[in-house]
Chains A and B, each alone.
Chain A
Amino acid sequence: MFNLIKNENMKIYRRPRTWVMFGILIIIILLMSILLHVYELDNWGWVSPLQQYAEAQGLIYYENTFWSNAYQVAGLMSLVSIFTIVIAGDIVAAEFSWGTIKLLLIRPFHRSKVLLSKFIACIIFALFMLTTLFILSILINGILKGFDGFSASFLYMADNGEVVERSMMLQMLIYFALSFGELLMITSIGFMIGTIFRSSAMAIGISMFIMFTGSIISFFLLRYDWGKYSIFPNLELTQYRGGAALISNELSLGFSLAVLAVYFVVFNVLSWYIFSKRDVALS
């Protein structure tokens, strides 16, 4: 099993496009950080209530430190999603279009093991990219602006109107974890479509469509009672990074996680079933 994952990794990282993706990600992180640093938004001395609260408590508010820009640059998570979709949608479909699937499936490993190794390789890729994003956004913005205020606090208003305070480092980790959850779902979607249709283009296209039109579809679906059980309003887990979801007060992190867990199982069982049963090229 470990060898299978090694193989999948070799097939991902020996391809130049993977490193092009990393290159693009790093360049955009750099550009965005520099732009944010140079054209720092002047808020005309307006101080938000949360900032006032922080100052009254004697806390370092994150918006006054490099964390502010780092937090914004970490929002490039959508770029990581796109790249993860490309990898996940392609990893099964490409074997079919290359014809290598025939040689891959006649080895002494059950198909479920082959599929699992591919899924794990996608997750490793997603994690690798996400880690790159978070470490670089902290590092670059820290270098640009200085690491003063490393122990700054993040504040948000909870449902009951109370202000919750946590360290910015913890907030970044929470953001990271939520992003990872989102990537896990996106990977499953791309993986499933790629497995069912054996077409990378289709998998990448449909997954991106779901990702980008998700919020529009959510608004529409949430008008119905059952809408909150659909995948769309729940997919964007990072909406919970600053407390409750803005889109609807019926949603909560726990609820979304539960809904997504069901979809996660359904998608992957479907991928597995179809991949295991499929006749390879009966024509």
Chain B
Amino acid sequence: MTVETTAVLKNVSKQVGNRKIIDGLDLSVQKGEILGLLGPNGAGKTTTIRMMVGLISITEGDVSIHGKSITKQFEQAIQHVGAIVENPEMYKFLTGYQNLIHYARMSHGITKERINEVIQLVGLQNRIHDKVKKYSLGMRQRLGVAQALLHQPSLLILDEPTNGLDPAGIRELRDYLRQLVEKKGLSVIVSSHLLSEMELMCDRVAIIQEGKLIDVRHIKTNESVQQYIVEVDDVEKAKQAIEQLEQEMNLEMRKEHIVIDMEKEHVPAVVQTLVQHHIDIYSIIPATKTLEDQFLEVTGGKEIV
């Protein structure tokens, strides 16, 4: 099965003065996936995103979107892209509708029907003819999404889209993005420094630190080996019992529980053994490694945020 790639970053570097802010970034975004850019503040997420949309020049390397170079074929490349860079800044003295008209005129073939469709989609139909200065932040965010989707892009780029949104707004945005990806096969790139949020939103996360790509992780796939925390009455006895199983598993003793690294299939066997040895089991909890743990693991425990 071949995976369609929407955008490719090839050895992208950005130098300002003597400092390399971004250093040899290689990354690709597949069709129908949400890719997160994660990193501490100042790691280069925003710079990367702005290079992808041509707001910032690229010192070395190139970004291509649907095979068109953003530097050499800007107009062809950017037409596939919808973006919100930081907070969606709109013309406050215009109405929401006039703002959309403004952006619609800058793309080809956007009909009145399409504009209305997008307004319905983001649920702004009741307030669309109000001036944007009367909008709440959440409404501006929705208008921002409408603006980005107007020309039916195949790549959506969101830079810190949840800045300033309340939890309900974040959730709404997240569900909405998921829906778009599933229904329309859109590719999405999101940057954020909020781990928990990225974990919920993304399929893959690229971790950037000091301008370098450190790791790319899949979020949704269950790794075969997982950690289980088993709470028992007698830890010592339990350990001996499990060791008799002669399965390859890593045991770690704690005060009132054992932490076992094992495959899912081995869980029943472990439970059976423990029961046979008359060891009381209070709970077995799969310890999902949070993205935060993984992040700290790869960035060497450096503080985030």
Check A106 against B54 for contact (C-beta < 8 Å): yes
Check A103 against B103 for contact (C-beta < 8 Å): yes
Q: Note all chain B residues with C-beta closer than 8 A to A3.
A: 105-106
Q: Note all chain B residues with C-beta closer than 8 A to A109.
A: 75, 106
A35 at interface (Cβ–Cβ under 8 A)?
no
Check B74 against A103 for contact (C-beta < 8 Å): no
Shortest distance between the CB of A185 and any CB in chain B (Å): 29
Q: Note all chain A residues with C-beta closer than 8 A to B78.
A: 106-108
Query: A residues 110-143 with Cβ under 8 Å of B?
Result: 110
Known: A106-B83, A110-B75. A10 touches B103 (CB 8 A): no
Check B91 against A98 for contact (C-beta < 8 Å): yes
Closest to A8 in B: B102
Q: Note all chain B residues with C-beta closer than 8 A to A108.
A: 74-76, 78-79, 106-108
Secondary structure dominating the interface of B: loop
Shortest distance between the CB of B89 and any CB in chain A (Å): 3
Q: Note all chain A residues with C-beta closer than 8 A to B16.
A: 282
Q: Note all chain A residues with C-beta closer than 8 A to B176.
A: none
Q: How many A-B residue pairs have CB under 8 A?
A: 80
A64 at interface (Cβ–Cβ under 8 A)?
no
Distance between Cα atoms of A14 and B102 in the complex (Å):
12
Q: Please, how many residues of chain B have a CB less than 8 angstroms from a CB on the other chain?
A: 35
Check A105 against B54 for contact (C-beta < 8 Å): yes
A99 at interface (Cβ–Cβ under 8 A)?
yes
Check B89 against A102 for contact (C-beta < 8 Å): yes
Q: Note all chain B residues with C-beta closer than 8 A to A282.
A: 16, 21, 47, 50, 56
Distance between Cα atoms of A10 and B97 in the complex (Å):
13
Q: Please, how many residues of chain A have a CB less than 8 angstroms from a CB on the other chain?
A: 26
A163 at interface (Cβ–Cβ under 8 A)?
no
Check A279 against B56 for contact (C-beta < 8 Å): yes
Q: Note all chain B residues with C-beta closer than 8 A to A104.
A: 106
From A4, A16, A110, A281, give the contact of B55 (CB < 8 A): A281
Check A107 against B93 for contact (C-beta < 8 Å): no
Shortest distance between the CB of B4 and any CB in chain A (Å): 22
Distance between Cα atoms of A145 and B174 in the complex (Å):
70
Q: Note all chain B residues with C-beta closer than 8 A to A107.
A: 78, 103, 106-107
Encoded as 1 (CB less than 8 Å from any A CB) or 0, chain B from 40 to 77 comes to: 00000001001001111100000000000000001110
Binding site for A on B (CB under 8 A): 16, 21, 47, 50, 53-57, 74-76, 78-79, 81, 83, 85-94, 98, 101-103, 105-108, 147
Binding site for B on A (CB under 8 A): 3-4, 6-7, 10-11, 14-16, 98-100, 102-110, 277, 279-282
Q: What are 13 A-B pairs at a CB distance below 8 A? A: A4-B106, A10-B98, A10-B101, A14-B93, A99-B86, A100-B90, A104-B106, A108-B76, A108-B79, A108-B106, A110-B74, A280-B56, A282-B56
